[in-house]
Amino acid sequence: MKLAERIDLLVKLGKRLEEGIPDNVLRSTEAHNPWFSHDNVIAAVNNVRKHFLDRSLLEAWAEKYKIKESTSKKIGIVMAGNIPLVGFHDFLCCFISGHISQVKLSDRDAVLFTYLVSIMSDIDSGIENYINIIERLESYDAVIATGSDTTSKYFEKYFGAVPHIIRKNRSGVGVISKQSTIESLSPIGNDLFNYFGLGCRNISKLYMEEGVELDTFYKSLTSFKEVINHNKYKNNYDYTYALYLMNKEEFYTDDVLIMRPNKDIASRIATVHYEYYTDPIKLAEELRLHQDEIQCVVSDIELPGIKVFPFGEAQIPSLNDYADGIDTMAFLQASN
C-alpha cells in the first residue's frame, strides 16, 4: 500500500467504529479483563476514532515526517495492557511509516486490539502484509516495548542489540492553583478515574497551591462517586484503606479516593499523593527534575518549560503526544 492508501484504510476503520462496538465484543473484552468495563472500552475506542483516525489529522501528522516509500522493516511491538488499546498508537506509527508490525499483545488487552485488526482486514486484506500478531518476537529490525520498571531491565538486555524504545513506569501529575474553583476543577475527575486510574497518564500525584482546601478538591469529584461501585476498584480501595490504617499513616478520604501526603509521584490504585507548593516557577523546576517519572501534567495555570494539558484531558492524547516524550515516528524514520 502507498501512504495515501494506508491513511484511507485508517479513515475507513474510524467510520466503521462510528457504528459502535458489538455487545459480544464488549462482553468478551470485559470477561477477559474485568478492569475493561463497557464504558471504558467505548471511551478508548472513541478517543482512537476521533483523535487518531481523522483524515486531516493523519495527513498533517504524516506530512510532518516526509514519509518515503521504501523497504519495510520488521518492528517488534511489545504492548502493555493497563488500559484498552494503549498500544494502538505504536502500531499506528509503524503502519503509517510503512513498516511491518510484529505485535506481542498483553494478555490483558488481547480481545479489543484483535477486533480492530479484523475490521481493517475486512476493509482491505492488504493489512495482513503489515501486521502479525505473534506469541514471541523474532527476526525483528527494531523494537518498541512497553512495560514496568522491572520488565524494562529484561527488555534492555533482550533487545539491546537492535534499535529500540523501552518504556518504564510513568504517571500523570495534576497542579491545582488557588484560582481553581469547584466548577473549574470538576473535569479533573476524568484524569483521576478514567480507566480506574490505571493509565500512565492518569493523575497519581497532586501539587496544590498553599491555601487550597482538600474539601474544595473533594467537592469537585462528586459526579465520579459511582466508580466505587466497580468491584475491582472497591477491593483496591478497601485494601489500601486498611493498610494505611494499620500502618497509622496520615490520609484523607471521601470514601471513593484516598489522599495521602507523600512526595512520591506514583501512588496505589484508588489513592493520589499530594503536597503543597507556593511558587509555580520553582514547582516547574521540581517537575523537570522528575521528568523521567512523569507522563503528562494537567493544570489550569502555565508552568515554564512544561507542556500542560487542561483538566479533564490527560487521557485524550493527540497523534503528536508520544509516550515518554520519545518521538516514535522519528525513531521509525531513522529505522528506514
pLDDT tens for each residue of 38-56: 999 999 999 999 999 999 9
Q: What is the mean pLDDT of the chain?
A: 95
pLDDT digits (tens, 9 = 90+) for 232-241: 999 999 999 9
268 CB contacts (<8 Å, ≥6 apart)?
236, 240
Which string of DSSP letters, residue by residue, matches 107-144? GGGSHHHHHHHHHHHHH-GGGGGTEEE-SS--S-SEEE
Mean pLDDT throughout 254-267? 97
Please provide the CATH number assigned to the domain covering 171-309.
3.40.309.10
Residue-level pLDDT at 235: 98
C-alpha–C-alpha distance, residues 123 and 12, integer Å = 8
C-alpha cell at 142: 527494531
User: Terminus-to-terminus CA distance in the chain, angstroms?
Assistant: 16
Q: Please name the residue that has the C-alpha cell 467510520.
A: 15
C-alpha–C-alpha distance, residues 29 and 145, integer Å = 23
pTM: 0.94
pLDDT digits (tens, 9 = 90+) for 161-196: 999 999 999 999 999 999 899 999 999 999 999 999
Q: What percent of the chain has pLDDT over 70?
A: 99
Q: Higher-confidence residue: 204 or 72?
A: 204
pLDDT category of residue 324 using cuts at 50, 70 and 90: very high
pLDDT category of residue 160 using cuts at 50, 70 and 90: confident
pLDDT digits (tens, 9 = 90+) for 200-218: 999 999 999 999 999 999 9
Q: Can you state the percent helix, strand and coil of the chain, rounding each to 5? A: 45, 15, 35
pLDDT digits (tens, 9 = 90+) for 265-295: 999 999 999 999 999 999 999 999 999 999 9
Mean pLDDT throughout 247-273? 97
Residue-level pLDDT at 86: 96
Please provide the CATH number assigned to the domain covering 3-168.
3.40.605.10
What does the CA dihedral 299, 301, 302, 306 come to, rounded to 10 degrees? -20
C-alpha cell at 23: 455487545
Is the pLDDT assigned to residue 336 strictly greater than 70?
no
pLDDT category of residue 149 using cuts at 50, 70 and 90: confident
Residue-level pLDDT at 334: 82
- Please state which of the ranges 12-26, 141-155, 182-196 shows the lowest mean pLDDT: 141-155
C-alpha–C-alpha distance, residues 104 and 145, integer Å = 9
Of 159, 114, 147, which is closest to residue 132 (Cα–Cα)?
114
Q: Please name the residue that has the C-alpha cell 484503606.
A: 241
C-alpha–C-alpha distance, residues 101 and 89, integer Å = 12
Where are the chain's structural domains? 3-168, 171-309
Q: For the chain, where are the E strands, in sequence order?
A: 74-78, 100-104, 131-133, 142-146, 164-167, 171-176, 203-209, 252-253, 258-261, 271-277, 294-299, 308-309
